[in-house]
Structure 1
Amino acid sequence: MSAFVGEELDLDICAEEYARARVGVEETERERLREDLIRAAMPLAGRLASRYTGRGEPAEDLEQVARIGLVKTVDRYDADRGSFTAFAVVTIRGELRRHFRDHTWGVHVPRRLQDLGLEVKRAADMLTARLSRPPTPAEIADLLDVDEADVRAARTSLAGYSAESLNRRISDDDDTEIGDLLGALDPEMAAVEDRTTLANLLLRLPRRDRRMLALRFWGNMSQAEIAERFGISQMQVSRLLSRALTWLRTAMLTDVVPPWPGESDALGVRMTVTAGPGRARIVRLYGEIDRDVAAELRVRLLASISAGRPSRLEVDLAGVPLLDAAGMRALMVVRETAVARRVGLRFTGVSPYLAQLIRATGLGVMLS
């Protein structure tokens, strides 16, 4: 098989002899014949690879790619289908072009745009020679029978073949790098930390206060509309919003988060029970009575009526600035239970505003 070695050999003849010799021999002999043909055709692969040098890829890498194409040629060669040399040239060139298409682009570009970009470049060169001026995208699109937008996209994609380093200096006399000229300060970046802190603080607020803030500042609802939704007065909404905003502002400006008013009490409204004259019982309430606490408060007041069977229950509301519809319903249930148990019930320390609400529900007789 020494006839397979040497550049001067006719590769078509060598390939035909290889095809005949490998019939009916053992696997080890076929492998040796294959390697001989590959070595004989190696100079052809080298010459084809050299035609693609100067395009940014190392010559050694191109030669390796060409040799891979050569191995594929030998493995796929069929003597009945034509010249080995012609088949090798087509296969090796295809392998080299595929390498440039898949591995040498600085930015990933779809294959369709890569191929169209090459056609656009050739068409532009041809039209430039014909028109003696650079052609317009519309003229190139008309020649290639494609959309003008595709021509523009293909031209843009060609710029992705070789990426420019952001660390390259703009000139030899200036140390400024290209990256220094790109981008700008983002004023929103300074607010990221504040936004994160505020989000965590909002989670500390009671659910009702969070809803009010959301309706006011995200839902763009007026205080009157919020008051109607919660069944309280507009003045109360104003006070609650002011309290929440004051607490948030203080918490944002301090390292230690201040306690939320009433946060120490799980109910959200404090309740103390003391004994009065005779078998009377005095219950003092402190805090806001709304639907978040009304149910639990009702249970506590009913327990005060049941425990020890007091002759009279005095509920001191002097420390209650807010009483919504749910709170009123809780007091009405307490009143019905007190009547059924023959326990006298009185509301004391009531502000004029709360007194007006209590009278509107028919509980005015309980006021002191």
Structure 2
Amino acid sequence: MNAVISLLVLSTLPLLVVPVATSVDSVKAAVEIVSGDPRIFSGESVRLKCSVSDVRSTWDYLWFRGSEKLPQQGEHLLLWRAHVKQSGNYYCQGVRDSAVGDIYTSKSLPVEINVDGGWAILQVPPTLSLVGDTLVVTCRVRGTSQLREVILYKEGIEVMRQKGLNPHFTLTNVTVADQGMYSCRASWDIERRTRSVISVDTLLQVVEVLSEPVLEIVTVGDLIPANMMRLNCHHQYNAPAPKPPVHYYFFRNNLKLGMATSENHDLVKRTPGQYTCKIRVPVLGLVRWSQPKSFGQVTELQMTKPPVHPRDPWTRAPVISSPSDPSLPPASEPTAALLPPHQSTATPTVIQTTEAGTPSSGPPSSQPAPRTVPSTAQSLNKTTLPETDDITEQSGDTPEDDGDVSGDMSGDMSGDGPKRFW
């Protein structure tokens, strides 16, 4: 009898379990634009798609604009003939049923949609641009006007001007200095009058493929022994997939600690000194060094002048020996040559402008113009001499690996600049 009662109790336990909503952080949701652009005119449409990394299960989808939950629940979200008030950050989340309640994915990263009620839009690449890329930006005008002139501005200063119907501007070999807020102005003739409209500012982002690393020294942690400390080499790696592997090196007082590793951290003894880390991407010919960081009581002998670490792999000059004393090591002195600036031939122009807003039957005929001045581009070619510091491994270290250690400070530079494989 007791056995029968026990079975009855066990059979009723599932009924007593209250379903709860759980979140699975390992399952990710992602939003992408499948038609349209992130910046559109009012009255145009854009379609978004939500995808979940777990393809073995059947998921439903929740959509959000900012903190507002939207009524749509399908895989796609269509903004049909969008209004200005529908601008915002859109993201999604996957949800499915289970025996213990609803299971949610982590929320996706947002996708920003801008609905513009004006007459001009500057379209820039939707993703981050890399140093050395060639970018095309487009000045879109509402309707089918026959353009007479298009001007590109950065921070309100004219950088390009072109006549005719071509609304596209090409920026070649961009650098971090090219990042900023851009806008455009378009002009056309209608009914013997010149109409001119200007877009709102749009951010153009340019990042380096490999950022300068930052060294972190951690002395306290569950996995750190009492007499050890952890060196972390933090950086950003923006190469497109598939990303070539990165090699990490750690130094104390300019002496390499062990061999190269594929991990951005290393456990070392707690020894006072100046520490640095180096990251290298052999396939791309990229090398970056961190700034030195001191640990403990560093003696004057230990605080030796660090070698000159090149920030970019440009052409290296040959070693120059000291003529006064043959016993001295070769000199190491970075030099830089400044090329003369190139002055733009663009002339100041007074343009009739129009106040941006929701369009009526035609654009207004007056609008304040941004500052128009000739642009100046400067090019700086850096030439760094090879370092002469003696890179001697500490006692007990393994021999130099993959031919990279003996030239760590000066032999990683390619004379042709960074290699590009995409």
The structure whose residues are more often helix, as a share, is 1
Shared fold per TM-score greater than 0.5: no
TM-score, L = length of structure 2: 0.17
- Structure with more of its chain in strand, by fraction: 2
Q: Which has the larger radius of gyration?
A: 1
Q: What TM-score do the two structures reach when normalised by structure 1?
A: 0.19
